[in-house]
Structure 1
């Protein structure tokens, strides 16, 4: 376990111990951390189990003193109408002691004594222009982290800062001159990285630390390309005759007196005009764990997240906090003017975005910008990259003094209801290689994945789930929120399917389709034509749920997910849901007010799975023949309770039109006698086509089939 994780665990354990002891020593009357570090402009809140006296602010029963012992004026204190919440605000940078005397309570008790709180206010760093600014930023965060752990995890004091449309074309023309499949991208014209790609002549696929290049016509391996010995590529792209390889590399920064290192995101460009002999053109990168890569036209965008080792600042004040960029063997620290502090978000990690013109990969500028903020789900439109960063407020520890925790608006000192989770959205405008932070906004709830977001006519539509859908106190609700170009909310449909959560979302034109689930699968049809007044048009409830929705023409959706069954627990007599086999649903939304499940297909039984349920790139499409396919491993339940029988692994191909779903190809390797489960190296990861040939790709081999009869033809092992 890393030193940072041990450090975090130690803080939490210590704070819980302090909390328990403090609670009993104070008779359980106060909810506040006895020591807190907050940012300048924030408010410090103390909640009491019983009311204070009306004149407690003027009779000397509550006193605020600075570090020198000087008593401050009472303007820094505000008592709410219930006299159970005390807000301390408007203090300059410094350390203060707040004393609440035992006689301040309306009802006194022998158990009560004087209570003392220490609050340290640290200055805000809004702009990074020097090493000192950067170090102060992280030192402040390190100090506030302990207070935040107390506030967020223990339920004590609270502070608040004052301040697709359609799928990509299913076929393309390659160097071989024929038609071939492309990655199942979310947004037309925005290419996403994948583990297997083709140019119509060669197939490029990732297997462990190698890139296997296969001549599709002869079906033979022509090259096993290794970027570096200990490097494992994660994503591939093709741009004309350039192969783009994204990978992460771990770099050790020091050994003594402690071990430290960092992850670096890199991209290698190879000339594959002669695929048998790829030639490295250039290698570029920047610090951080890779979030994702996207390509629009000639321009590649690389996004990563980097958390420097700020927690060792007390031991090593000279620890490097700036991220680096890389070009070939050269490393360069990012200039301070390339680091921007995101407002309202003092997170200790960088969001790093780089862009390059791939058509000039050898000489083009590798342009990098960084933003001190959170990582999250990435959605990209033709003009912007959106990052949805989830912020969870944990509520496991409360003494019961207040029913609901609160936030304080530091401009009005009004106590507001505190949400369990919210999402901060960043809009990064892109123009070729120009990168700039354009807007920031917040919505209630959290997003499921990139399909929860969509830009349409200048507005961002985002689907979120607020609260928890599980446990005895399930309080979830779902929202469809619409934001303008500056990420200000203009409209919303709130509180959908209470007690459930979103399982999939899809946007088609001015319509939004949401699937929620707990015991049944409601499909919501939402009209967003008027962004200021979106409305639910129709709702359908059926068994099961869809993890992924794919447009079929203008009036149908293909849902891919699981069938479910409601069973009764023999002991508790309480109902519970069991996931059964995979389920394909053809939704007819011709009548938007009355969506219907036109057809359902169940595959296998309990234990059956496909990677398409969590990875949309695993979906095979051939629009020429209305074919859809995906990898699948099939299990079935036996007569013995709890026992599953492995049936086989491979892929299924279906013809899907507005008329229905028809199984046209079962490209399966059936279980051998005695085989109880699948070999992960043999499970299909991707399907693709080149002209009239269909290929399945696993980590151990590529197999070709006739694209019309689906008869097996050739196989090459790796």
Structure 2
């Protein structure tokens, strides 16, 4: 199909209910995606109205086995689980202390999507210290001495995820974010002989602010435990915004005492009575302030007055946006807002936060979690977008909402500049209509995101594998099924975006990274003409002619793959030397290998560089490369339990720090 473009100004009715899965069926007469629709949020008239909203929708769904049926319902979507102006970058540089290391010159930071917008990662540095975690402790390593100089036992339970860290270099503070898992749903004390279970699995998010002004004595400046699972966090100018999704934390329902129909009727009636007797405390997220090892009190994380709803029912979860001002020595929520929906994808520029949510839909109980999900009424997939204002330090205000047809790949599907939102989506096969992708441009008009223009028909029968917005005028989109079409899209006129060039090559790029004005690196997998992947591939594209992008160089590592293919934070490109570092693993029938592979960009050429082996069949030990940092003339590699220090040019090991 030839991609089409054009302007559509007609707004549709509120978005259709959509599935939380990658595929769905719908009538075959749906030929093209509908225009983006208005999806503005609606405030509840009172806290009582909010409670009634939860209760009414839960009563529509509840049965003898809880919400949905014997197999249950999806509580939330899975995490998908992300350019500042020259003036903003200049102000950050001028604020640095004279003689202190400079990010991008003396050391590398997190591979953020947008300049000036920090993303959390498992390791951080300011060029003088390295901060990471190990076995529930925050660890501070001195770069000069290559030794651990300080550590802090982090609050929270041991049964949690690996912490993610945000380093506020101006204030010498680290914001630590950890998930606590409970290990599943356990039965509660019985009610009148009926077995009682939490309606949703319990997840906690623990947020701790740590002062590292004295690296040898990190000090906690406050800890909050929150009900819910954090999706991601962004930080700009000392203000961090965290997006969290919380299924009803206090809702516990019964199940039948035996397999009889009488027992089912009894259980369903009991569940309806439980729901009717709930309070807002059962539905909304709470936060707990921790002082030392004790709780200093529990309160609602988001006041009921600050919660809104989308036009279509999007679940019983609450998506919260919580704001933290890291200029304050004590951790506190300075602003909060909520939406009754499940948030899956988080993007932020320096002045906008965009959260994508999908409408809540039932799991096909009869067929289990791997079955296709049928949207009510046979409708197509769609995604709602909600924008929030980040221009005021310490606060986050809701601005506008809209909806687009299809699903997002990840945070790189989104972009914002001056209130204009660009979003790339894939609409999966619907009946006899094949999958294809679109790029849609929306603009804030009051409290609505209104479509300005769109390009449809990208990669018919394929799906999006990577997106990169190269400037306000240009977007690069990669789709894949058997070959890798790289599309260049001109978005300089928001009302009439158009495909200017297309390149088809074997394999695909799962991550795109600009290197200079006219060159683009792609990291992914090489593949046969039939679409079978054969190993890690790095491609260099010349995009100087938007009508004729070309692949000017390519390097492959057979049977290898890299974490970069699904986590952009594992990617490292160092412009000063043109070096590229990729954590990689390889498995064949005869051998295994783990470590770092490298390449070098020189002009329009690309060549493989040295490798660092950390484990495998021929190694004396075993470790996995997870992240790489450039500090001075060294490459620091984070393994499972060690930091490996190597020469930047040769990757020869110079030392190891045990964490």
Q: Which category of TM-score, normalised to the shorter sequence, fits these structures?
A: 0.7 to 0.9
Taking a change above 3 Å as real, the CA distance of residues 166 and 599 of structure 1, as seen in their structure-2 partners, is farther
Query: Aligned match of 2:426 in 460, 465, 478?
Result: 465
CA distance in 1 between partners of 2:99 and 2:567 (Å): 28
Name whichever of 360-369 and 283-292 sits farther off: 360-369
- The answer on whether the counterparts of 1:350 and 1:371 sit within 8 Å (CA) in structure 2 is yes
Q: Which residue of 2 aligns with 1:359?
A: 327
- Deviation of residue 142 (structure 1)? 1.5
Q: Which residue of 2 aligns with 1:379?
A: 347
- Deviation of residue 255 (structure 1)? 4.1
Deviations 1:340-369 (A, max 9, x none): 233333421101111121011327653222
Q: Which residue of 1 aligns with 2:235?
A: 295
Query: Aligned match of 1:195 in 122, 125, 137?
Result: 122
Given the alignment of the two structures, is residue 185 of structure 1 paired with residue 134 of structure 2, yes or no? no
Deviations 1:647-676 (A, max 9, x none): 42111222224322122331123633599x
CA distance in 1 between partners of 2:484 and 2:15 (Å): 43
Taking a change above 3 Å as real, the CA distance of residues 546 and 270 of structure 1, as seen in their structure-2 partners, is same
Given the alignment of the two structures, is residue 630 of structure 1 paired with residue 592 of structure 2, yes or no? no
TM-score, with length taken from structure 1 = 0.70
- Deviation of residue 645 (structure 1)? 3.2
CA distance in 1 between partners of 2:619 and 2:629 (Å): 31
Q: Which residue of 2 aligns with 1:585?
A: 539
* 1:488 aligned counterpart, secondary structure: strand
- The answer on whether the counterparts of 1:174 and 1:199 sit within 8 Å (CA) in structure 2 is no
CA distance in 2 between partners of 1:614 and 1:716 (Å): 27
* 1:135 aligned counterpart, secondary structure: helix
Given the alignment of the two structures, is residue 505 of structure 1 paired with residue 491 of structure 2, yes or no? no
Q: Which residue of 2 aligns with 1:429?
A: 389
CA distance in 1 between partners of 2:242 and 2:383 (Å): 22
Given the alignment of the two structures, is residue 345 of structure 1 paired with residue 313 of structure 2, yes or no? yes
- The answer on whether the counterparts of 2:407 and 2:427 sit within 8 Å (CA) in structure 1 is yes
- Deviation of residue 440 (structure 1)? 1.3
Query: Aligned match of 1:248 in 161, 169, 179?
Result: 179
Q: Which residue of 1 aligns with 2:399?
A: 438
The equivalences for 1:26-425 within 5 A come to: 127=44, 129-130=46-47, 132-145=48-61, 164=83, 177-178=100-101, 179-228=106-155, 230-231=157-158, 232=160, 233-240=162-169, 241-249=172-180, 255-257=188-190, 258-260=196-198, 262-308=202-248, 309-310=250-251, 312=253, 314=272, 316=274, 317-318=277-278, 320-328=282-290, 329-333=296-300, 334-362=302-330, 366-391=334-359, 418-425=378-385
- The answer on whether the counterparts of 1:565 and 1:580 sit within 8 Å (CA) in structure 2 is yes
Q: Which residue of 2 aligns with 1:112?
A: none
CA distance in 2 between partners of 1:235 and 1:395 (Å): 31
- The answer on whether the counterparts of 1:604 and 1:635 sit within 8 Å (CA) in structure 2 is no
CA distance in 1 between partners of 2:578 and 2:387 (Å): 36
Deviations 1:112-159 (A, max 9, x none): xxxxxxxxxxxx9961523x4333212211133369979xx9xxxxxx
The equivalences for 1:560-709 within 5 A come to: 560-566=523-529, 576-605=530-559, 608-636=560-588, 644-669=589-614, 671-673=616-618, 679=622, 682-709=623-650
CA distance in 2 between partners of 1:311 and 1:175 (Å): 58
- Deviation of residue 256 (structure 1)? 2.8
Taking a change above 3 Å as real, the CA distance of residues 407 and 712 of structure 1, as seen in their structure-2 partners, is closer
Taking a change above 3 Å as real, the CA distance of residues 196 and 331 of structure 1, as seen in their structure-2 partners, is same
CA distance in 1 between partners of 2:138 and 2:386 (Å): 34
- Deviation of residue 287 (structure 1)? 2.6
CA distance in 2 between partners of 1:591 and 1:42 (Å): 38
- Deviation of residue 250 (structure 1)? 5.3
- The answer on whether the counterparts of 1:128 and 1:341 sit within 8 Å (CA) in structure 2 is no
Q: Which residue of 2 aligns with 1:487?
A: 449
Taking a change above 3 Å as real, the CA distance of residues 165 and 592 of structure 1, as seen in their structure-2 partners, is farther
Taking a change above 3 Å as real, the CA distance of residues 184 and 204 of structure 1, as seen in their structure-2 partners, is same
- Deviation of residue 294 (structure 1)? 0.7
Aligned CA-pair RMSD? 3.5
* 2:482 aligned counterpart, secondary structure: coil
Aligned length: 546
CA distance in 2 between partners of 1:609 and 1:705 (Å): 22
Q: Which residue of 1 aligns with 2:435?
A: 476
- The answer on whether the counterparts of 1:174 and 1:201 sit within 8 Å (CA) in structure 2 is no
Taking a change above 3 Å as real, the CA distance of residues 604 and 174 of structure 1, as seen in their structure-2 partners, is farther
Query: Larger Cα Rg: Structure 1 or Structure 2?
Result: 1
CA distance in 2 between partners of 1:344 and 1:598 (Å): 48
Taking a change above 3 Å as real, the CA distance of residues 271 and 561 of structure 1, as seen in their structure-2 partners, is same
CA distance in 1 between partners of 2:416 and 2:287 (Å): 31
Taking a change above 3 Å as real, the CA distance of residues 327 and 670 of structure 1, as seen in their structure-2 partners, is closer
CA distance in 2 between partners of 1:459 and 1:484 (Å): 4
* 2:305 aligned counterpart, secondary structure: helix
- Deviation of residue 182 (structure 1)? 0.4
- The answer on whether the counterparts of 2:197 and 2:252 sit within 8 Å (CA) in structure 1 is no
- The answer on whether the counterparts of 1:305 and 1:350 sit within 8 Å (CA) in structure 2 is yes
Could you tell me which runs of 5 or more consecutive residues in structure 1 were left unpaired when the two chains were aligned: 1-40, 44-123, 154-163, 398-404, 409-417, 567-575, 637-643
* 1:590 aligned counterpart, secondary structure: coil
Deviations 1:151-205 (A, max 9, x none): xx9xxxxxxxxxx589998998689833221000001111000001112222112
Q: Which residue of 2 aligns with 1:714?
A: 655
- The answer on whether the counterparts of 1:141 and 1:346 sit within 8 Å (CA) in structure 2 is no
